[in-house]
Amino acid sequence: MKLTIIGTGYVGLVTGTCLAEKGHDVLCVDNDPAKIAMLQAGQIPIYEPGLEPLIRSNVAAGRLRFTTDTAEGVRHGHVVFIGVPTPPRADGSVDMRFVERVARDVASAMTEYRIIVDKSTVPVKTGFKVAESIKRYNKAGVDFDVISNPEFMREGCAVEDQMKPERIVIGVASQRPVATMQEVYAPFNAPIIVTDINSAELIKHASNSFLALKISYANALSALCEASHANIQQVVDGIGMDKRIGRAFLNAGLGYGGSCFPKDISAFIAIAQELGCDFRLLKEVQNINANQLQRFVKRIQDTLWVLQDKVIAVLGLAFKANTDDARCSPAVDLVLALQKEGAHIRAYDPQAMEKARPLLPNVTLCADPYEAVRGADAMIIATEWDEFKELDFGRIKPLMAHPTLFDGRNLLDPMTMKNLGFTYLSVGR
Ligand code: UDX
Ligand 1 atom with least separation from CA of 214: 33
Q: CATH number of the domain at 286-425, out of 3.40.50.720, 2.30.29.30, 3.40.50.2300, 3.40.50.300? A: 3.40.50.720
Q: Measured between alpha carbons, how far apart are the two ends of the chain, in Å?
A: 53
**Collapsing DSSP states into helix, strand and coil, what is residue 357?**
helix
pLDDT at 46: 85
Mutate to test the pocket of ligand 1, among 215, 245, 291, 295 (most ligand atoms within 8 A of CB): 215
Enclosing H/E stretch for 201: helix 197-228
Closest C-alpha to 265, from 304, 216, 333, 195: 216
Closest C-alpha to 117, from 90, 145, 89: 145
Give the catalytic positions in this structure.
260
Q: Whose CA is nearest to atom 7 of ligand 1?
A: 152
> Residue 86 Cα, ligand 1 centroid: separation in angstroms?
18
pLDDT at 234: 98
Q: Is the CB of 261 under 6 A from ligand 1?
A: yes
pLDDT at 228 over 90: yes
Per-residue pLDDT reduced to its tens digit, 232-260: 999 999 999 999 999 999 999 999 999 99
Per-residue pLDDT reduced to its tens digit, 35-77: 999 999 989 988 888 999 999 999 999 999 999 999 999 999 9
Q: Is the CB of 319 under 6 A from ligand 1?
A: yes
Q: Taking residues 80-89, what's their average pLDDT?
A: 95
pLDDT at 47: 81
Q: Is the CB of 253 under 6 A from ligand 1?
A: yes
Q: Taking residues 97-103, what's their average pLDDT?
A: 97
- Neighbouring C-beta atoms of residue 199, cutoff 10 Å: 15
Ligand 1 atom with least separation from CA of 161: 5
Q: Spell out the CATH class of 2-190.
A: alpha beta
pLDDT at 156 over 90: no
Q: Taking residues 193-197, what's their average pLDDT?
A: 98
Q: For CATH 3.40.50.720, list the domain ranges present in the chain.
A: 2-190, 286-425
Closest C-alpha to 315, from 263, 389, 259: 389
Q: Taking residues 139-143, what's their average pLDDT?
A: 93
pLDDT at 48: 87
d(CA 352, CA 320): 10
Q: Whose CA is nearest to atom 31 of ligand 1?
A: 251
- Rounded to the nearest 10 degrees, the angle between the axes of helix 126-137 and helix 97-109 is 40
**Neighbour-count burial of 279, counting CB atoms closer than 10 A to its CB (0-12 exposed, 13-18 middle, 19+ buried):** middle
> Residue 320 Cα, ligand 1 centroid: separation in angstroms?
8
> Residue 318 Cα, ligand 1 centroid: separation in angstroms?
12
d(CA 161, CA 334): 29
> Residue 339 Cα, ligand 1 centroid: separation in angstroms?
26
pLDDT at 342: 98
> Residue 212 Cα, ligand 1 centroid: separation in angstroms?
8
Are 36 and 65 in contact, with CB atoms under 8 Å apart? no
> Alpha carbon 177 to chain centroid distance?
29
Q: Taking residues 198-212, what's their average pLDDT?
A: 98
**Residues 209-222 as b or e (16 or more Cβ within 10 Å = b):** bebbbbbbbbbbbb
Per-residue pLDDT reduced to its tens digit, 351-378: 999 999 999 999 999 999 999 999 999 9
Q: Is the CB of 4 under 6 A from ligand 1?
A: no
167 phi-psi bin (left φ>0, alpha ψ -120 to 50, beta other): beta
Are 46 and 153 in contact, with CB atoms under 8 Å apart? no
Per-residue pLDDT reduced to its tens digit, 280-319: 999 999 999 999 999 999 999 999 999 999 999 999 999 9
